[in-house]
Amino acid sequence: MLEFPSSHPTDRLYDGFGRLHRSLRISVTDRCNIRCFYCMPPGPLNFLPRNEILTYEEIVRVVRVATRLGIHKLRITGGEPLVRSEVWQLIDRLVGIEGVEEVALTTNGMLLAEQASQLRQAGLGRINISLDTLREEVFESISRRKGLDRVLEGIAAAQDAGFTKIRLNALSIRGLTEDDIVPLAAYAFERGMELRFIEFMPLDAEAKWDSAQVLSGSAVRAVIEEAYGPLLPVSRQDASQPAVDYRFADRPGRIGFINPVSEPFCNHCDRLRLTAEGQIRNCLFSTQEWDVRSLLRDRTVNDAELAKQFVTAVAEKKAGHGIESPEFLRPERAMYQIGG
């Protein structure tokens, strides 16, 4: 059985390719208040029953174990994390765990106006808000719901609440969002927020993804450069970050590109995931999971046994996701069931 040393966090989470794992993405729900076509089916949906979802108490215990293995960055996600009741209470507890250096959240922003101040008070350090378009009709065709105004109110509320680390994440879809690139950049620059464009990955629930829909980061960058002038790459401070960031030579503004399809960045991946029902995944595209929920709910199981699940998941991590390979196998779960 794995024994914890009494004091310092260990660096046990090295995989077979020398990658050290330090980030954990925690999904707190598979539910969502919108239905983005690149993630969820239109419905009806069979969401997980409440008793299958980890309680906040259980998540806190898992994080205590993970930090002792060297995890120090957490991101709360889902589904839509703000539909889970009083998620700030969880954040408040996670922030206080020894070894946790940053707690971040990814949200669609629909409920942010109501919750921004509580999240800030709880100690949330960073918010990523998904914003693919500034046009209501495109928002509706992506998310199959109305609500762009609410998202924009949520972004303003996050700024008013005092968040300084706000990043906008825009998923780019060929044939749909080309005309949003420059307006989104202008919107982010005017508000002093970072913007990242993300490529569409084959994780949509309906399995309709087609590589022809992928609007590559380099294509988006060309549009930005045409409008604003040349972009210069910013040297990476953290090799494990998925984005390549750029700045302008002669004007403020920073733009990042997350190109998992055209330029996979698996070589430096340091991420693990915990699904809402307590399964560890070592990759978004993993076809295997390591159960912690049943261990958490078995009173005879101690923390060292929970830790072992993390160590095993990391040891079995593959070199890369292999989207580009003819042998690529889509995971059975869609993005909302994994936690993006």
Between 91 and 171, name the residue whose CB sits nearer to ligand SAM: 171
Q: Which residues contact residue 336 at a Cβ distance below 8 angstroms, ignoring those fewer than 6 apart?
A: 30, 32, 39, 40, 78, 79, 205
* Residue 200 touches which member of ligand SF4, ligand SAM, none, C-beta under 5-8 Å by kind: ligand SAM
Instruction: Show the tokens assigned to 26.
Output: 């925690």
Report how far residue 201's alpha carbon sits from residue 211's, in angstroms, rounded to the nearest whole number. Answer: 9
Report how far residue 193's alpha carbon sits from residue 223's, in angstroms, rounded to the nearest whole number. Answer: 19
> For ligand SAM, which residue has the nearest CB?
340
Q: Does the protein bind ligand SF4 through residue 168 (CB under 6 A)?
A: no
Count the Cβ atoms, other than its own, within 10 Å of residue 37: 17
- For tokens 């980061």, the residue is 217
Q: How far is the CB of 169 from ligand SAM (least distance, A)?
A: 4
* Residue 253 touches which member of ligand SAM, ligand SF4, none, C-beta under 5-8 Å by kind: none
Q: How far is the CB of 204 from ligand SAM (least distance, A)?
A: 5
Q: Which residues contact residue 102 at a Cβ distance below 8 angstroms, ignoring those fewer than 6 apart?
A: 72, 73, 74, 125, 126
Report how far residue 322's alpha carbon sits from residue 340's, in angstroms, rounded to the nearest whole number. Answer: 18
Between 13 and 119, name the residue whose CB sits nearer to ligand SF4: 119
Q: How far is the CB of 145 from ligand SF4 (least distance, A)?
A: 9
- Chain residues 7-36 in contact with ligand SF4, contact rule CB under 6 A: 32, 34-36
Q: Does the protein bind ligand SF4 through residue 224 (CB under 6 A)?
A: no
Q: Which residues contact residue 129 at a Cβ distance below 8 angstroms, ignoring those fewer than 6 apart?
A: 106, 107, 108, 109, 112, 151, 154, 155, 158, 166, 167, 168, 169
Terminal CA-to-CA distance of the chain, rounded, Å? 32
Greatest alpha-carbon span in the chain = 62
Bridge-based pairing of strands 126-130 and 102-107 is: parallel
Name which position in 70, 79, 278, 331 contacts ligand SF4 (CB under 6 A): 79
Q: Which of 15, 10, 30, 2 is nearest to 279 (CA)?
A: 30
* Residue 204 touches which member of ligand SAM, ligand SF4, none, C-beta under 5-8 Å by kind: ligand SAM
Q: How far is the CB of 270 from ligand SAM (least distance, A)?
A: 18
* Residue 77 touches which member of ligand SF4, ligand SAM, none, C-beta under 5-8 Å by kind: ligand SAM
- Contact in structure between 277 and 79 (CB atoms under 8 Å): no
Give the DSSP letter of residue 214: B
Name which position in 70, 78, 242, 278 contacts ligand SF4 (CB under 6 A): 78
Between 83 and 311, name the residue whose CB sits nearer to ligand SF4: 83
Sites of contact with ligand SAM (CB under 6 A): 32, 38-39, 77-78, 80, 106-108, 130, 169, 171, 198, 200-201, 203-204, 335-336, 340
- The vertex-137 CA angle with 133 and 142, nearest 5°, equals 60
Name which position in 125, 128, 336, 337 contacts ligand SF4 (CB under 6 A): 336
Q: How far is the CB of 130 from ligand SAM (least distance, A)?
A: 4
- Chain residues 82-111 in contact with ligand SF4, contact rule CB under 6 A: 108
* Residue 256 touches which member of ligand SF4, ligand SAM, none, C-beta under 5-8 Å by kind: none
- Chain residues 33-72 in contact with ligand SF4, contact rule CB under 6 A: 34-36, 39-40
Q: Does the protein bind ligand SF4 through residue 139 (CB under 6 A)?
A: no
* Residue 201 touches which member of ligand SF4, ligand SAM, none, C-beta under 5-8 Å by kind: ligand SAM
Note the residues at the interface with ligand SF4 (CB under 6 A). 32, 34-36, 39-40, 78-80, 108, 335-336
